[in-house]
Amino acid sequence: MALFLLKRLLTLLLTLLGTSLVVFGVLEVLPGNAAQILMGPDASPEAVQALAAKLGLDQSAHVRYFQWIGGLLQGDMGISYSYSTPVAEMVWERMTLTVPLAVLAMTLTAVIALSAGIYAASRHNRLGDVGVMTASQLGIAIPNFWFAILLILLFSVKLQWFSAGGFDGWGDGTPAELWAGVQDLWLPALSLAVVQGAILARITRSAVLEVMREDYVRTARAKGLSQRAALWWHVLRNAMIPVVTVMGLQFAELLAGTIVVESVFYLPGLGRLIFQSISNRDVIVVRNCVMLLAAMVVIVNFVVDLLYAAIDPRVKASDV
3 state DSSP class of 170: coil
pLDDT of 286: 85
Query: Could you report the per-residue pLDDT of 24-62, keeping only the tens digit for each?
Result: 887 776 666 666 666 666 667 777 677 677 767 667 778
Burial-class residue 50 by CB neighbours within 10 Å (0-12, 13-18, 19+).
Answer: middle
Q: What is the pLDDT at residue 248? A: 81
Which CATH topology does 87-318 take?
Answer: MetI-like fold (1.10.3720)
Buried b (16+ CB within 10 A) or exposed e, 272-284: bbbeebeebbbbb
**Residue numbers of the chain with a pLDDT score lower than 50:** 317, 320
Integer angstrom CA distances of residue 227 from 119, 232, 235: 12, 9, 10
DSSP string, 213-224: TSHHHHHHHHTT
Determine the length of the chain.
Answer: 320
Indicate the domain borders of the chain.
32-76, 87-318
- pLDDT value, residue 33: 63
What does the pLDDT read at residue 35? 66
For 57-97, the pLDDT digits (tens) are 667 778 888 888 888 888 888 888 777 788 888 888 888 88
pTM: 0.77
Helices within the chain (DSSP H only)? 2-29, 34-39, 45-55, 61-73, 87-122, 127-141, 144-151, 175-212, 215-222, 227-230, 236-256, 259-264, 270-279, 283-311, 313-318
List the one residue out of 231, 245, 237, 149 whose CA is nearest residue 199.
Answer: 245
CA dihedral of residues 87, 89, 90, 96 (deg, nearest 10) = 140
